[in-house]
């Protein structure tokens, strides 16, 4: 089957997804552990999905609905056995940013735009699946993802800190005056999202904090972390929420200012169409693109990590299809945008789950809660939910990874730092563009200065050893030069300049030049023109030219550009040794 799929891919055929891939191989003996893991997952879905809906500025019911139909659909179509679908903190923060210009939190029309956003994400995911764009995950570097996700984590954590304080959060006229003053001084730096102004306002509200809410929120955060450390098999989020809810009810803390979730509509999700004009779908496109881009990169990275761990093979494009149909079902069933959950995937892995059956069990459990027990959700303290979500968000702030980048590679640290600050100063949507630009710049920077080496014959004459191209010390009449990157517009001029310099600075007259093309697997028209100029320069100096160890793809490209004819097909060698032997024979002749 794998060979058939590869053959279809090579012929450009559409590969239709195979449902139930992630459920195959389950044995009856596995059912008890899978069902137990599903109940644990439900215990995580309920508090976290409510919290993520609040991050997005949406009703709690939309987060709970995301744990029913979209969770089932993703489980049935995904190719990954381990990745759990659903809203996550990064997705929720991007949804909030995407909806900011359409309606304020609490406005009923915001729900309609959220549903339309899910449908737009579905369209983009389906296009990515159809055109097999899962490879795009490779274009967002680890440093960029660390910085971007950490920025989102800081932003969301700050939002949860406000809820833990139990105070209303409104930027006062003094803060607006401060914003104007900062804008006059620094330009547009703080105008868009106002993160630092929110932090300023948050600190000013500390004296007005509700101490009961602070105790509930911080207590929830600490309790979840302690349970995760000492009793990881127990669903700490649910236990914490139950304990804190009992405390609030018994001590009647609602009357002392501790806010609770409030009434949650009962019943199962029903089919719905967003009441949004078609023109507004286009306006939602940038936000949908940002969500899809981050979900694509984070989700496929997560899926491939688990696949390597267990020796599985996953079809990245089928996972994109699963995201597409899951978001279509979200937009049509009153749910918020769905992506992937790192924390819940890790929890299912720790629980021993080896399929998507726990997701189906969790969806049924959430559906039962929504049908019969929504009254219990009304008394959930918001501070406790904030503490639970804050704990989940802490995993997004990659302090250890940033420290490692600083220690191992400073350039990547600064890339991560720029992406992190972009999220906080420009907002998540603009930061996605910055993230992709940083990745492209980093890619071009690396490929424009590839590793090059001069291959020198060892003393025994049996092999070649690498040397520095800038330090020519050999009096030999031949040069073997290795260029370890595709030859394209960004590095064509350095390639041309370095070869000209090698020939010009050689201690003796060069008669034979070999291009070791083992790492040069492709070239564009600019690269081809640079190679043609090199051929002309060497011909003027009466230097013979040959290519060694070129793969078939490079030979076909060179042939298309007419370079094989100029070089001569008899000057294409499979090894450096054969190229040198041909030079020696020609010299003897």
Residues 6+ apart with CB under 8 A from 505: 472
| pLDDT value of residue 586 | 72
| pLDDT value of residue 472 | 58
Radius of gyration of the chain (CA): 30
Residues 6+ apart with CB under 8 A from 526: 488, 489, 492
| pLDDT value of residue 198 | 78
| pLDDT value of residue 8 | 44
What single string gives the DSSP state of each residue in 188-229? TTTTSS-HHHHHHHHHHHGGG--HHHHHHHHHHHHHHHHHHH
Residue by residue, pLDDT tens for the chain (589 residues) are 334 444 444 444 556 778 888 888 788 888 888 998 999 899 999 999 999 999 999 999 999 999 999 999 999 999 998 999 999 999 999 999 999 889 999 899 999 999 999 999 999 999 999 999 888 877 778 888 899 889 989 998 998 998 899 876 554 444 555 555 555 554 444 443 468 877 887 888 888 899 999 999 999 999 999 998 898 888 888 899 999 999 999 999 999 999 999 999 999 999 999 999 999 999 999 999 999 999 998 888 888 888 888 888 888 899 999 999 999 999 999 999 999 888 888 888 888 888 999 999 999 999 999 999 999 899 999 999 999 999 988 888 989 999 999 998 888 899 899 999 999 988 888 888 888 888 888 877 777 888 888 887 666 656 677 776 665 555 467 889 999 889 998 899 999 999 998 888 887 788 899 999 998 988 999 999 999 999 999 999 999 999 999 999 999 999 999 999 999 999 999 998 899 888 878 765 5
Instruction: Tell me the angle at which helices 552-560 and 525-540 cross, rounded to the nearest 10 degrees.
Output: 80
Angle at 273 between CA 270 and CA 274, to 5 degrees: 120
- Smallest CA-to-CA distance from 164 within 197, 119, 213, 104 is with 213
Instruction: Spell out the domain ranges in the chain.
Output: 30-167+209-444, 452-588
Instruction: Tell me the angle at which helices 108-130 and 316-332 cross, rounded to the nearest 10 degrees.
Output: 150
Alpha carbons 455 and 556: distance in angstroms, whole number? 25
State which fold the 452-588 domain adopts: Transcription Regulator spoIIAA (3.30.750)
Residues 6+ apart with CB under 8 A from 102: 109, 110, 113, 280, 283, 284
Q: Let me know if 26 is exposed, middle or buried by CB neighbors in 10 A (0-12, 13-18, 19+).
A: middle
Alpha-carbon torsion 14, 18, 22, 24, what sign?
negative
| pLDDT value of residue 473 | 52
Per the listing, tokens 């030979």 go with 555
What single string gives the DSSP state of each residue in 504-519? HH-SS---EEEEE-SS
Per the listing, tokens 């300023």 go with 200
**φ, ψ of residue 500 in degrees (nearest 5):** -60, -40
Pairing of strands 478-483, 512-516: parallel
How many other β-carbons are positioned within 10 Å of the β-carbon of residue 489?
14
């Amino acid at each position: 089957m794998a060979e058939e799929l590869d053959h279809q891919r090579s012929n450009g055929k559409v590969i239709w997804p195979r449902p139930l891939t992630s459920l195959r191989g389950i044995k009856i003996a596995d059912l008890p552990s899978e069902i137990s893991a599903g109940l644990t997952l439900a215990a995580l879905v309920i508090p976290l999905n409510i919290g993520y809906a609040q991050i997005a500025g949406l009703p709690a019911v939309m987060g709970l609905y995301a744990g029913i139909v979209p969770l089932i659909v993703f489980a049935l179509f995904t190719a990954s056995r381990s990745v759990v679908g659903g809203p996550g903190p990064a997705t929720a923060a991007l949804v909030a940013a995407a909806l900011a210009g359409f309606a304020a939190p609490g406005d009923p029309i915001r729900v309609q735009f959220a549903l339309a956003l899910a449908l737009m994400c579905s369209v983009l995911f389906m296009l990515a699946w159809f055109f097999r764009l899962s490879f795009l995950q490779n274009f967002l570097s680890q440093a960029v993802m660390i910085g971007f996700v950490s920025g989102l984590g800081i932003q969301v954590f700050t939002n949860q800190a406000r809820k833990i304080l139990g105070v209303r959060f409104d930027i006062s006229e003094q803060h607006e005056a401060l914003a104007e003053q900062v804008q006059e001084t620094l330009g547009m730096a703080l105008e868009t999202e106002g993160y630092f102004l929110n932090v300023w306002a948050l600190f000013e509200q500390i004296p007005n904090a509700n101490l009961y809410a602070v105790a509930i929120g911080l207590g929830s955060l600490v309790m979840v972390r302690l349970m995760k450390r000492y009793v990881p098999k127990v669903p700490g989020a649910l236990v914490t929420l139950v304990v804190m809810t009992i405390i609030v009810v018994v001590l009647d803390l609602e009357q002392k200012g501790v806010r609770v979730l409030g009434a949650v509509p009962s019943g199962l999700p029903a089919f719905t169409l967003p009441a949004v004009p078609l023109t507004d779908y286009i306006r939602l496109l940038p936000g949908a693109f940002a969500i899809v881009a981050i979900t694509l990169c984070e989700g496929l990275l997560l899926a491939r990590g688990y696949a390597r761990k267990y020796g599985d093979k996953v079809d990245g494009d089928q996972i994109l299809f699963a995201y597409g149909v899951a978001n279509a079902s979200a937009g049509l069933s009153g749910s918020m945008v769905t992506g992937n959950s790192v924390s819940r995937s890790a929890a299912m892995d720790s629980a021993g789950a080896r399929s998507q059956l726990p997701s189906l069990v969790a969806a049924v459990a959430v559906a039962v809660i929504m049908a019969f027990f929504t009254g219990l959700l009304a008394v959930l303290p918001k501070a406790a939910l904030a503490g639970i979500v804050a704990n989940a968000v802490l995993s997004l702030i990659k302090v250890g990874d940033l420290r490692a980048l600083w220690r191992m590679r400073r350039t990547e640290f600064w890339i991560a730092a720029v992406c992190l600050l972009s999220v906080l100063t420009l907002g998540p949507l603009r930061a996605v563009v910055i993230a992709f630009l940083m990745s492209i710049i980093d890619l071009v920077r690396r490929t424009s200065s590839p590793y090059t080496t001069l291959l020198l014959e060892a003393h025994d004459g049996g092999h070649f050893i690498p040397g520095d191209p800038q330090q020519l010390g050999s009096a030999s009449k031949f040069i073997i030069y290795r260029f370890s990157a595709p030859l394209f517009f960004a590095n064509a001029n350095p390639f041309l300049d370095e070869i000209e310099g090698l020939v010009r600075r050689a201690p003796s007259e060069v008669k034979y030049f070999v291009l070791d093309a083992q790492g040069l697997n492709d070239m564009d028209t600019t690269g081809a023109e640079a190679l043609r100029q090199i051929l002309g320069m060497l011909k003027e100096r009466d230097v013979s030219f040959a290519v060694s160890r070129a793969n078939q793809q490079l030979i076909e490209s060179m042939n298309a550009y007419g370079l094989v004819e100029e070089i001569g097909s008899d000057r294409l060698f499979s090894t450096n040794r054969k190229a040198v032997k041909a030079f020696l024979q020609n010299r003897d002749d």
